[in-house]
A and B are shown apart, each in its own frame.
Chain A
């Protein structure tokens, strides 16, 4: 592989790594796995090839490191972070209020419900 091809691989890998990093911080972090793995593979190929040719490999190394970082962040979220719902006092109170209102509304139906009970 020539130097230009190595640079192209590194650049594509860089895009993957950046996308992976962005996704890894979002709630849809699971999607980070695709670009991050692609970034890692392309970065590694470019790195090994550049090293064999004894040309500059620092950009490829950065791509590999960024991809690994994205994968580590994703794995950490999977292993150590549990999805939780925020305790929403306002929502809890509105649920209770809804119940109180419902009781009053159903009491308006009492006469009809009593008649239906007799039918049943």
Chain B
């Protein structure tokens, strides 16, 4: 039921939303210490079943010479699913706190018996990302992937989308950005669909920016069907709801808890 593709779609999906644009957009929304918890559900035959918990956390990381923002996303199946299909995924991006441009991205996934570890070291000056892959049959397999100055990874893209100036967007405005996914640069487009009021768990009904996401690229095109994200239209810009259609059923990721005070 909970297949690898479904789990991947959850993240691609999230990713999707990530595609933004806006050259070196200044970050005024994402701060260190933010903790968001989501419930990921799978919809089959019109019945929604909660399958996993997704967490998005930010923290400050210090190296010898600088402070970076660590953007961490984890996905863990609920205990009731663990004996059938256990997922423990870690996605993390180390970004410049002002621009959210990543220096390092790491993805460490464990989905059932499938394990994969990939990282991208962004050498923006040289315009390459050094990709290192570890999985069955590959050990420290390195590839230099050509990138642009503003190329993002999945996680930094998710966060960057929250920093866009939607108040100035006309309905239908599209923003496209390049992402590095599975050692390939692909592009994704976010379309602004206007504002909508939706119920955000225990926080009640909130006004949100509604966005649709589409992909161009071998890997991401597999995630066909409608993909939408709602971001709260307030100072926190929280991703309140994500919905996507997948080949079998659909998935939904909804905000369930946060350490921020929602007005």
Contact = CB atoms under 8 A, between A and B. Distances in A.
Given A30-B49, A85-B76, A94-B108, A106 B63 contact: yes
Contacts of A88: 76, 88
Interface string A7-32: 00000000000000000000111110
Contacts, number: 97
Contacts of B65: 107, 110, 113-114
B193 interface: no
Given A95-B90, A98-B106, A27 B80 contact: yes
B35 interface: no
Nearest to A109: B103
Contact of A84 (B47, B51, B78): B78
Nearest to B65: A110
A106 to B, nearest CB: 5
A106 B12 CA distance: 25
Interface stretch (B67-75, B177-185, B205-213): B67-75
Interface residues of B, number: 45
A4 interface: no
B59 to A, nearest CB: 9
A102 interface: yes
27 contacts: A27-B78, A27-B81, A27-B84, A28-B49, A30-B48, A34-B47, A83-B78, A83-B79, A84-B78, A84-B79, A85-B77, A85-B78, A91-B74, A91-B90, A94-B90, A95-B74, A98-B90, A98-B92, A99-B92, A102-B61, A107-B64, A107-B65, A109-B103, A109-B121, A112-B124, A114-B65, A116-B125
Given A85-B78, A103-B63, A115-B125, 19 more contacts: A27-B78, A27-B81, A30-B49, A31-B47, A83-B79, A85-B76, A91-B90, A95-B72, A95-B74, A95-B90, A98-B90, A98-B106, A103-B61, A106-B94, A109-B104, A109-B123, A110-B65, A112-B126, A116-B124
Interface of A: 27-31, 33-34, 83-86, 88, 91, 94-95, 98-99, 102-103, 105-110, 112-116, 120
